[in-house]
Structure 1
Amino acid sequence: MTDDDATGETADRPVRVVLVDDDEIIIVGLQGMLARHSDQVRVVGGALATEDVLTKALDLEADVVLLDTTLHETSGLELASELVAEKPPFRVVIFTEDNDERRLFEALRLGVSGYLLKSMSGLQLADHLVLVANGEVIVDPTMATRIAKRAAHMGDTQGWPGSQLGLSQRESQVLGLLVEGMSNRLIAAQLVVGEETVKTHLRSIYRKLGVNDRAHAIATVLRQGIFT
């Protein structure tokens, strides 16, 4: 973990990524996939799931650890939990073929910074890793869109998503865009408001949900089915 982690910024340097899998061929393949985007991300090493991943991530000063949920020797989510429990916590991104929303909810509840599907391109993955390194919480666009579409079809008699928790309609809009993986800047642009206004809404949302950050806010609303 580098000094930049304290601020959530990686400045102008590439994001340092450690890849974790139980198959060395997968690690090599991911390295090749991301090597084309070395201006954004730099793979500083790979670790087999049977190794001491925490020690390796510390030694390699990783900004982000990328791992799958389905590892043969151990649970990817258990490993993610260990990494997130480190002080300060590692930013962990789940990169998987598993599009089960229950797995997504569990991962977010544990505090991971991203849940992405392996169907995305190398460029998309690199872009998302940069966002995560700079403090964003990212959900794969296809999963976020599916959740958001269900929310859009909720009946009028149910009110807007989150109304039962005391969220205003505007706060619900902000929360929906947060679930889609948008940054504060993108949410502000979408709603045609300032970033400070978005931050004010987020503070109110966190207070009403009883959480302290984006990851737990997203996990809470998805787990409770607010956007499903």
Structure 2
Amino acid sequence: MGTPEHGPIRVVLVDDHEMVIEGLKAMLGAYRSRVRVVGVAVGVDSALSVVAGLQPDVVLCDVQMQGSSGLDLCRLLHERDPQRKVVLLSVYDDEQYLFQALRAGAAGYLLKKITGEELVMQIERAHAGDVVIEAGLASRAVDTAARVQRDEYWPGARQGLTQRESEILSFMVSGLSNRAIATRLLIGDETVKSHLRSIYRKLDVRDRTGAVATALREGIFR
């Protein structure tokens, strides 16, 4: 797209790992005529303050951060300014995260495997008003949306749960512990905990008891 008419696009980076932030700064630094990192923030609270003070054109934010969520930050920023461009950058190649991001008002959902040139192009598109989504993920999301609409998907899909999250929730309803779930699925305890945090957020509950109660109340598993 070339150099923006009014100078480089002003970007704020948000992540909970300084190493990731520094890596992104270095990546974008090669395209200074097109984008300029004007600020960085670690975590949601810091990001709200930084964005309010700097008023960037685009906020580039990680989806998952310790003790907070880029989805929550996106929602808060969008509530404060519906025109705010927030692009979420994630390792999660998961259409359910994409659906949540769009519901939160995100201008895009990209994967961290993206190249520097592609990232800059997508930032430029988001700044211009497009919704930018990683191509393969967008294709799968269209199929998932159609199948959910036809009621052809797994239990919990309508609540935004992935197939693995639905499986874990079913084990929780059956009374299995985290360790038992990990053993059954051949995954680590921390992976189970990560899935649980996602389940709680999607079901809008605080803990295992709330998740099980919601599953039973909503008739997720018939």
- Answer whether TM exceeds 0.5 for this pair: yes
Alignment partner of 1:97 out of 91, 110, 121: 91
Q: Deviations over 1:145-181 (max 9, x none)?
A: 4446x59xx9xxxxxxx9x9xxxxxxxxxxxxxxxxx
| 1:71 paired residue number | 65
Matched positions, count: 145
Structure 1 residues 1-228: aligned runs within 5 Å = 11-49=5-43, 51-147=45-141, 150=143
Gaps of 5+ in 1: 1-9, 155-161, 165-228
Residues 180-221 of structure 1: CA deviation (Å, up to 9, x unaligned): xxxxxxxxxxxxxxxxxxxxxxxxxxxxxxxxxxxxxxxxxx
Higher relative contact order (CA 8 A, sep 6+): 1
The normalised TM-score by structure 2 is 0.60
Alpha carbons 1:50, 1:73 under 8 Å: kept: no
Matches of 1:130 and 1:94, distance apart in 2: 14
Shift of 1:50: 5.3
Distance 1:106 1:88, change over 3 A: closer
Q: RMSD value over aligned CA atoms?
A: 2.3
Structure 2 stretches lacking a partner, 5+ long: 151-222
Distance in 1 (CA, whole Å) between partners of 2:30 and 2:78 is 28
Which TM-score applies when normalising by structure 1?
0.58
- 1:146 and 1:50 mapped to 2: Cα distance? 29
Encode CA deviations 1:83-130: one digit per residue, 9 max, x unaligned: 111135421000001111111001101110000001110110000001
- Match of 1:52, SS state, is helix
1:13: Cα distance to partner? 1.4
Counterpart secondary structure, 2:7? coil
Structure of greater Rg = 2
User: Which amino acid in 1 is paired with 2:49?
Assistant: T
C-alpha distance in structure 1 between counterparts of 2:52 and 2:141, whole Å: 35
CA distance in 2 between partners of 1:115 and 1:101 (Å): 10
Whole-Å Cα distance in 2 between the matches of residues 38 and 128 of structure 1? 15
Aligned-partner Cα distance in 1 for 2:71–2:44: 14
